[in-house]
């Protein structure tokens, strides 16, 4: 007697079950297969090549009419099952009831639709089946623009396909980087770069507010109020297990249909398989585990023992030319360690995550050839201690003992390319060395190796060392830190010349050896990026030392000091009263007059900061940036207003300068002073910029110091007018911002480049002076604002995440 088996859903999972079952026991089963789609099984994961035009639907059919006929499967395609009756053991479809002895639910998933207004307009589609694919192909035929919501696996495949079909595509992604579930930021950066190269626009941290349109979708409105035209909107935000039938039938359901390791639901005659299931809290979205499930289910139905176990899965993206791979777990957890490899010239990034001498996760971009080998190591839990040093180079490097970089370079053949930019091989460098080029500079000059992007500098030096042996002294130019081989100056130069506008771009293109730098390099790189690309780059507070992140100076006991600005050292009775009130209200233990002509409130509790700032704001005061690598104070003397010797309005000029320069970030702190006459009561001659007013105008001098070093300023120029004095000051500060190494005070930087070099640009070349001032103004259009006012609105940032001391002890 044949058993009656009914299968609901002809998808990837149930297709496999039927194959196993009809292969092993062709005569034991009387099978009825329902499918809501008006067709049988096809390879759903190949819909993207169909969308892009690389394949046709016919090529991705896995089971055709002949197959079903040969296996005696009764097909009810285009007919959704609407109910399961467990009492009568029948399922109900539009074409009538069908009885079952065993029932398999394989209804897959339904795409998730974000509940924004306009979601039901024609022209808004999801991406799940052939009909969706055909709808996209048809829409693309009319050209125009498409917006894809969410840059995950599905969304990006849709975007690439639509773009290949000639649409103008924008991808909106809520997260900071694409495919954040499968990729880390570095790989996400490379993926974004490759997609942008093919003309796809990517917007991260973009949240959809509504879909606009009268009779059909016309545009997408973002939370930022930006409006993007859209003839087609593809929602690829995620999937939800299709559980409605099971819920109605009273089966046990969590996020999916709950099953045991034999794929049995809470009813012993009903089984479930595929994306609709929930196995111990696990949901599934890729086919590999579904195929395992299908095998187990077929065995269960045939009465053979089998159990499903959850395994790690690997992800690839089916977009031609975007080579990525991720597997295992590269997030969360204790005792983990990273190995990072980057090859900027070839756009390659690899990261391995180790735990207890096992590989547990891998993310790769650009070169994924070793992906399966790594995946094997992850699945098998292989002990990698022996090959740890060379692991990241893949299987080709294993088994030959440990390689040290020098012997690896020594072993390179003469035709091995060292400098990718200029196509210089090892042999050419060795020849140049033989001809007398015995240091990096000489190699650069004679062969051009490492003279372009500079990332092969380390390799060139190793060739020098291997060839010259002990007679070669590794150069003393200090790299920024252990995370990279480049100096500050090189990094600055490359950020400008290669137009790098994000941290990820710097990490990748300059071959950083860590995931996201360290406390030494990250603040520097953050500054370089914001100084060079004030509009494009967004300042990253998490790359700042605590003082700048919290806009207050941390004290040795973890409290903070608060110093409001007093423009040019001038204050009023009202301001003093507000400061006194704040001191009382927040129990400030110390109120001190600083060396910078203003008042410091010391010992404020972290959680009180937003409130004391708000109070000071209300009295018209703003942050004094007493914590920043930025403009600190402009000291002034009383000048012509009161002093019998004053020649110009030193107080007024000081205030003007402070109002112009405040808020700007600089390589190190910047302090100014303006004295009304050569008696110099404002101590202008030991500042970063000091101005002494004289009868004939303004003596502008720069590069003084009065801290760890003591140094008198050097004359920059004598300005005839106040405006010229201001222009010279701004141009000097901007030149310093554009060129100095992070944490070099102005006097140290001027000592390196020479005062003449500075004068050429700031004083002599009027066009350059103009450019510097314009660049500074542009930056200030973003940064000349009070951070306290902003942070006073973010009170929660300064409070504990939670307070468990308040919880009743259990």
Partner 1 sequence: MSWIDIGAIDEVPLRGARVLKTNVGCVAVFRTGPDEVFAVSDTCPHKGGPLSDGIVHGQSVTCPLHNWVFDLNTGQAQGADAGHIATYPVRVDAGRIQIDGSVLRQRSVA
Ligand X SMILES: Cc1cc2nc3c(=O)[nH]c(=O)nc-3n(C[C@H](O)[C@H](O)[C@H](O)COP(=O)(O)OP(=O)(O)OC[C@H]3O[C@@H](n4cnc5c(N)ncnc54)[C@H](O)[C@@H]3O)c2cc1C
Task: CB nearer to ligand X: give 62 or 640.
Answer: 62
Question: Three-class SS of residue 718?
Answer: strand
Alpha-carbon distance of 786 to 628, in angstroms, equals 13
Burial string for 72-86 (b: 16+ CB within 10 Å, else e) reads ebebbbeebbeebee
CB 612 within 8 A of CB 586: yes
Q: Site residues for partner 1, window 555-574 (CB under 8 A)? A: 556-558
Task: Identify which range of 122-130, 400-408, 552-560, 689-697 contacts partner 1 by CB under 8 A.
Answer: 552-560
CB 123 within 8 A of CB 250: no
Q: How far is the CB of 282 from ligand X (least distance, A)?
A: 13
CB 564 within 8 A of CB 624: yes
Task: Identify which range of 44-52, 195-203, 530-538, 721-729 contacts ligand X by CB under 6 A.
Answer: 44-52
Task: CB nearer to ligand X: give 37 or 532.
Answer: 37
Q: How far is the CB of 366 from partner 1 (least distance, A)?
A: 20
Taking alpha carbons only, the member of 474, 480, 476 closest to residue 513 is 480
Q: Site residues for ligand SRM, window 534-563 (CB under 6 A)? A: 553, 555, 561, 563
Q: How far is the CB of 584 from ligand SRM (least distance, A)?
A: 20
Q: Which of 128, 342, 522, 761 binds ligand X (CB under 6 A)?
A: 128
Retrieve residue 643's tokens: 């002093």
Confirm whether residue 637 is marked as ligand binding: yes
701: Cβ–Cβ under 8 A, 6 or more apart, which residues? Answer: 684, 685, 689, 690, 691, 692, 713, 714, 715, 716
Write down the residue that tokens 């990279």 correspond to.
484
Q: Which of 157, 258, 485, 600 binds ligand SRM (CB under 6 A)?
A: 600
87: Cβ–Cβ under 8 A, 6 or more apart, which residues? Answer: none
Alpha-carbon distance of 602 to 609, in angstroms, equals 12
Confirm whether residue 643 is marked as ligand binding: yes
Q: How far is the CB of 226 from partner 1 (least distance, A)?
A: 22
CB 349 within 8 A of CB 508: yes
| Per CB under 6 A, 324 contacts ligand X | no
142: Cβ–Cβ under 8 A, 6 or more apart, which residues? Answer: 231
Question: Three-class SS of residue 699?
Answer: strand
Confirm whether residue 425 is marked as ligand binding: no
**Which 3-state string (H, E, C) describes 140-168?**
HHCCCEEEEECCCHHHHHHHHHHHHCCCE
Q: How far is the CB of 408 from partner 1 (least distance, A)?
A: 25
Strands 560-562 and 599-604: antiparallel
* One character per residue 657-696, x = contact with ligand SRM (rule: CB under 6 A): --------------x-------------------------
Write down the residue that tokens 């499967």 correspond to.
73
| Per CB under 6 A, 275 contacts ligand X | yes
Task: CB nearer to ligand SRM: give 632 or 656.
Answer: 632
Q: Which of 27, 332, 584, 767 binds partner 1 (CB under 8 A)?
A: 332
| Per CB under 6 A, 595 contacts ligand SRM | yes
| Per CB under 6 A, 345 contacts ligand X | no
Task: Identify which range of 195-203, 368-376, 380-388, 537-545 contacts partner 1 by CB under 8 A.
Answer: 537-545
Local structure of residue 333 (DSSP, 8 states): -
| Per CB under 6 A, 409 contacts ligand X | no
Q: How far is the CB of 333 from partner 1 (least distance, A)?
A: 8
Q: Site residues for ligand X, window 70-109 (CB under 6 A)? A: 80-81, 106-108
| Per CB under 6 A, 219 contacts ligand X | no
Bind-site residues for siroheme: 681
Footprint on this chain of ligand X (rule: CB under 6 A): 8-14, 34-37, 44-45, 47-48, 80-81, 106-108, 127-128, 154, 157, 242, 245, 274-275, 285-288, 290, 318
Bind-site residues: 637, 643, 677, 681
């Amino acid at each position: 007697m044949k058993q009656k088996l009914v299968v609901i859903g002809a998808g990837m999972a149930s297709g496999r079950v039927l194959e196993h079952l009809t292969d092993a026991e062709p005569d034991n089963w009387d099978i009825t297969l329902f499918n809501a789609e008006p067709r049988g099984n096809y390879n759903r994961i190949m819909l993207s090549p169909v969308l892009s035009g690389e394949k046709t639907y016919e090529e991705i059919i896995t089971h055709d009419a002949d197959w079903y006929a040969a296996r005696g499967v009764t097909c009810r395609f285009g007919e959704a099952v609407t109910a399961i009756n467990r009492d009568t053991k029948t399922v109900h479809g539009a074409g009538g009831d069908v009885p079952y002895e065993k029932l398999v639910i394989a209804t897959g998933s339904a795409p998730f639709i974000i509940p924004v207004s306009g979601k039901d307009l024609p022209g808004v589609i999801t991406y799940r089946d052939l009909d969706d694919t055909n709808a996209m192909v048809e829409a693309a035929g009319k050209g125009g623009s498409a917006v894809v919501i969410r840059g995950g696996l599905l969304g990006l495949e849709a975007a690439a396909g639509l773009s290949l079909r000639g649409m103008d595509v924008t991808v909106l992604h809520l997260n900071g980087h694409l495919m954040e579930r499968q990729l880390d930021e570095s790989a996400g950066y490379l993926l974004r770069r490759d997609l942008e190269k093919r003309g796809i626009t990517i917007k991260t941290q973009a949240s959809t507010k509504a879909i606009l349109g009268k009779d059909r979708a016309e545009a997408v409105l973002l939370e930022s109020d930006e409006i993007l035209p859209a003839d087609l909107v593809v929602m690829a935000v995620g999937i939800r297990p299709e559980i409605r039938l099971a819920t109605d039938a009273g089966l046990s359901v969590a996020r999916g249909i709950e099953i045991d390791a034999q794929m049995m639901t809470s009813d012993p005659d009903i089984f479930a398989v595929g994306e609709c299931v929930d196995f111990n809290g696990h949901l599934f979205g890729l086919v590999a585990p579904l195929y395992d499930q299908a095998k187990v289910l077929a065995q269960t139905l045939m009465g053979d023992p089998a159990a499903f176990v959850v395994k790690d899965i690997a992800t690839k993206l089916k977009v031609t030319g975007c080579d990525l791979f991720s597997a295992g777990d590269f997030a969360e957890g204790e005792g983990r360690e990273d190995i990072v490899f980057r090859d900027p010239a070839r756009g390659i990034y690899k990261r391995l995550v180790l735990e207890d001498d096992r590989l547990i996760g891998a993310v790769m971009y650009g070169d994924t050839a070793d992906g399966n080998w790594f995946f094997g190591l992850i699945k098998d839990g292989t002990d990698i201690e022996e090959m740890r040093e060379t692991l990241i180079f893949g299987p080709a490097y294993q088994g030959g003992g440990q390689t040290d970089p020098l012997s690896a370079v020594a072993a390179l053949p003469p035709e091995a390319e060292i400098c990718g930019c200029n196509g210089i091989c090892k042999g050419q460098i060795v020849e140049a060395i033989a001809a007398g080029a015995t240091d990096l500079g000489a190699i650069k000059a004679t062969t051009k190796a490492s003279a372009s992007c500079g990332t092969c500098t380390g390799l060139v030096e190793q060739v020098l060392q291997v060839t010259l042996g002990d007679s070669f002294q590794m150069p003393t130019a200090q790299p920024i830190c252990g995370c990279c081989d480049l100096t500050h100056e090189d990094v600055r130069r490359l950020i400008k010349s290669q137009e790098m506008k994000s941290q990820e771009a710097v990490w990748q293109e300059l071959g950083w050896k860590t995931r996201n730098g360290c406390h030494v390099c990250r603040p520097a790189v953050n500054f370089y990026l914001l100084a060079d690309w004030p509009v494009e780059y967004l300042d990253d507070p998490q790359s700042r030392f605590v003082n700048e992140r919290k806009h207050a100076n941390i004290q040795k006991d973890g409290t903070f000091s608060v110093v409001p600005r007093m423009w040019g050292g001038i204050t009023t009775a009202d301001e003093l009263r507000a400061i006194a009130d704040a001191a009382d209200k927040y129990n400030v233990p110390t109120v001190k007059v600083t060396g910078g002509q203003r008042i410091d409130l010391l010992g404020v509790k972290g959680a009180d900061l937003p409130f004391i700032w708000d109070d000071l704001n209300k009295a018209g005061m703003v942050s004094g940036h007493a914590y920043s690598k930025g403009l600190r104070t402009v000291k002034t003397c009383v000048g012509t207003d009161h002093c019998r010797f004053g020649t110009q309005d030193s107080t007024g000029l000081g205030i003007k300068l402070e109002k112009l320069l405040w808020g700007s970030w600089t390589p190190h702190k910047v302090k100014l002073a303006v004295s009304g006459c050569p008696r110099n009561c404002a101590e202008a001659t030991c500042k970063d910029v000091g101005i002494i007013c004289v009868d004939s105008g303004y003596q502008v001098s720069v590069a003084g110091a009065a801290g760890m070093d003591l140094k008198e300023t050097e004359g920059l120029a004598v300005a005839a007018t106040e405006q010229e004095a201001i222009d010279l000051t701004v141009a000097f500060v901007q030149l310093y911002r554009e060129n100095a190494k992070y944490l070099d005070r102005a006097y140290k930087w001027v000592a390196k480049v020479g005062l003449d070099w500075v004068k050429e640009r700031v004083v002599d070349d009027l066009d350059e002076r103009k450019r510097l001032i314009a660049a500074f103004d542009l930056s200030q259009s973003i940064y000349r604002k009070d951070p306290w006012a902003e942070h006073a609105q973010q009170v929660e940032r300064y409070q504990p995440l939670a307070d468990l001391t308040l919880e009743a002890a259990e």
